[in-house]
Structures are given as structure tokens and as C-alpha cells.
Chains A and B, each alone.
Chain A
Amino acid sequence: MSIEIQDVHKAFGSLEVVKGVTMTVEKGEVVSIIGGSGSGKSTLLMCINGLEPINSGRILVDGTDVHGRGTDLNKLRRKIGIVFQQWNAFPHLTVLENVMLAPRKVLGKSKAEAEAIAVEKLARVGLSEKIKVYPSKLSGGQQQRMAIARALAMSPDYMLFDEVTSALDPQLVGEVLDTMRLLSSEGMTMIVVTHEIAFAREVSNRVAFFHKGRIHEIGPPAQVIGNPREPETIDFLKSVL
């Protein structure tokens, strides 16, 4: 059980943003990806659940080739939850309905089952009080926690986080990170693209430093963040800490 990324290249037109990335994330691991903007980290995340096609290489999720010819992406995505920088709440549905939608329509659960799941997940992210309201009435942090609950409602084996706190007001960042902390303490496998270096250091088993579409350094946080070897990593950390 793992996500294996093998020599993945990805270009938008003539601009190559991922230039041969290889890494494996084992079940139960939390791996953070840090690096400057445009370093290809978010793009890689989109490639992992097939939202973006790749140009070469392979990504295997539990042995299934994500970009393989016969791969049922809709089915594969059920076990890979993703939360985006822009929280993307469905504005026409209440918080409860947002979380219930995919379990009902994708997993075919009954209304009662889906509601039970949604209520449970929303409680876990601390939104029990808000289940009846529409997303427009929520703060950014609350919307982002709802997005986490919505992904969790599919009972994914893996969770991908794409700079989920970057668009939030500083005072709302904490509540979202707390929710992610909770998940990692429960043993959820997570790949976290983030600018929150302190958070990455605290929750990750490993940290990968991306620079110009490549992994420059990967290892335990104490090494990559605490005692970086590569000059690019040192420069980057200097600029953000």
C-alpha cells in the first residue's frame, strides 16, 4: 500500500514544471512538500489523482497506474482525497449536503447513511454547529475544514493537501492546521504541499524540498529543515523562516 512516483515529467505546453520526480509515500506516512512557488509541487499533487495528465513516467497508487489506459479514475479517486488552496465549496448546497453529496451519488449510500457519515466527519473538523448553513455564511477557515470533511466522507486511504492555508487570513490558519494534525495523529497517509514550515517540521515523517521541478532534498524534517545540506534548501529556508 503506497503511492509510487516514478520519474514523472509534466509540462504545460513548452513549459516543463515537473522534471523527473521520483518518490514513494508509504501507507501511514506524512510527507510534506516545501519549495518556492512555481517549483511544481502543486502540479505533482494534481497528477497523483489524475486531475492533470503527465508527459512521462508513472504514478502507482496501490499498484494501479493512475495514468494507465484502462484505469477507472473515478473509482481510483475515491481513495485519494484532495483539498485545494481555494476551498471550492459547492455554494448551492448546505454544509451537510456538501459532505453528503459524493457518498450518496458516487458511493451509492442511502440518505440516512450518507447523513450519518457527514455528521460524523463534520463533528471531527469541529463544524457540528454549522451543518444547516450555506458555505457563504462560513469563514475561510470553516470552509476549508468543510472541504476536509467532504474529502474524508469518502473514507479515502490517502489525503492530498494543496497549500490549504495559503488563501486564509493568518488568524484562521491555526484551526485548519489543527484539523490536519488530528488526521495525522490518527494515522492518515498524507501528502502536504505547504508553506507552513513549522507545521511541516512537526507533523511530517519526511519532508521533500522542491526546486525548479525537481526534488533537491528529501528526508526526516530534522535533517531537511533542521540541518539542510543543499545550498538551494538553505536559501529557501532562509527566505521563509
Chain B
Amino acid sequence: MNYTFHWLPAFRALPEMLWGALVTLEIAVLSMVLGVLFAVLLAVGASSQYRIFRAAAVSWVELARNTPALFQIYMAYFGLGSLGIHLDSFVALLAGITFNNAGYLAETFRGGLRAVPQTQVRAARSLGMGQIQAFRLVVMPQMFRIVFYPLTNQMVWAILMTSLGVIVGLNNDLTGVTQEYNVRSFRTFEYFALAAVIYYLLAKFVTVSARLMAWRLFRY
């Protein structure tokens, strides 16, 4: 091995990479917020009495879970582009990851809902609560605990998926910035190793804070 490591240029790039990490986090958070909203719609849609809603929800979930995330993002950018719908890189990446998140989370929510026994609803109704009250006060808090860790996992997954933005030309997220430096200097190992450390710390930050939150929230 006659490669000489040059870490200094990589560390010089650190401030800009950290700004990139902020963009990464921004996309991940947005994709999760939107993902949760769509997932709720999908979970409701999957049990709808109308066939068209059921079919739409099931197709979404199936495609999101059984095709590569890379393709989903690619389709949002180039696929829609060839149909004349031009999204910018940021929006295409966000749409792709949101599509993926929603598909996975819809299943998580459906499972969470099933895991709360019907007898809990019955007990709530027997105390005079309406259907919505029983759901809000008794079912939802229990469901939230069940879906909490899967939700955290998806958040980590979303952060890592943002790196795929590079294939649709995103250049200001962590991978985008890293790649810009890489093509200028070809210090691939150094830049990407540093970026990997930052991704690792971001992901760890999410899991550790989730654990702390769970400890505060779920005392039972």
C-alpha cells in the first residue's frame, strides 16, 4: 500500500460538511413529518370500504417497501421529469424519501393499531366515551409506544437515504458537499471517512435521544 493519507484538507472542509449535515437533517425531518401524515392516510385507506382507496394504499405500500429507495428517488426526479413534471433536486429527494417512509410507516401504524386490544376500546366505551374519545385517550397513547422504536429506526433510515440525493444532483447536503470536494481532490477515502463519521454521529444522536425520550415518556 503506497497511499499517503492527507487528512488536513478533509478537516478544512469540515465546517462546510457540517452545514451539509444540517441540510441532510432538514430533509430527513421533513420527510418523516410528511411520511407520518401520508402513512396515517395510507393506514386508513388500506382499511377503507372503497376499493379504489384500498387499491391505491396497498399499491403505494407495496411499491415503497419492495423497490429500491434509489429507484423511488430516481423516478421522482428523472421519471417525472420525462413526463414534463420537473422537480428540483431537493424536492425530488424529499418526495422519494417521503414516499418510502410513508410505505414503511403505514405498515408500522397498522401493526400498532392491531396490537392494542379491542377490549381496551370496550372498557373506554363502557365508561361513556365516544368512539373518537376512546381512540384519542386510550388507543393512541398505547399505539404511540408500540410504534415509537420503529419510528426511530425509520428516522435513522431517512437520514441515510438522503445520501442518495447525489444521484439527482443535490450538492448541498452532507454527501453532496463531500462529493464536491472529492471530485476536486480525489481524496476519496479521507472525505468519505469523515462524512461517514458525521452520518454515524447523526444516527446515534437520533437513537440516543429517542431512548431518553422513551424513558421520559413511557414510565409504565
Contact = CB atoms under 8 A, between A and B. Distances in A.
Interface of A: 49, 51, 74-75, 77-78, 81-82, 84, 86, 88, 90-93, 101-102, 105-107, 134-136, 147, 150-151, 154
Instruction: Kindly list the 8 A-B residue pairs having the minimum CB-CB distance in the complex, ordered from nearest.
Output: A88-B123, A102-B127, A134-B220, A106-B128, A77-B128, A78-B128, A92-B141, A82-B126
A79 to B, nearest CB: 9
Contact of A91 (B124, B126, B129, B142): B142
Contact of B129 (A51, A74, A81, A151): A74
Contacts of B220: 91-93, 134-136
A45 to B, nearest CB: 11
Interface stretch (B29-37, B38-46, B130-138, B163-171): B130-138
Given A134-B219, A134-B220, A154 B127 contact: yes
A78 B126 CA distance: 8
A37 B127 CA distance: 26
Contacts of B119: 84, 86, 88
The interface residues of chain B, by DSSP majority, are classed as helix
Interface in B131-160: 133, 137-138, 141-142, 145
Interface size class of B (residues with CB under 8 A): 20 to 34
A106 B125 contact: no
A59 to B, nearest CB: 15
A107 B138 CA distance: 16
A90 B120 contact: yes
Nearest to A79: B128
A95 to B, nearest CB: 11
Contacts of B141: 92
B193 to A, nearest CB: 44
Given A92-B142, A92-B220, A84 B122 contact: yes
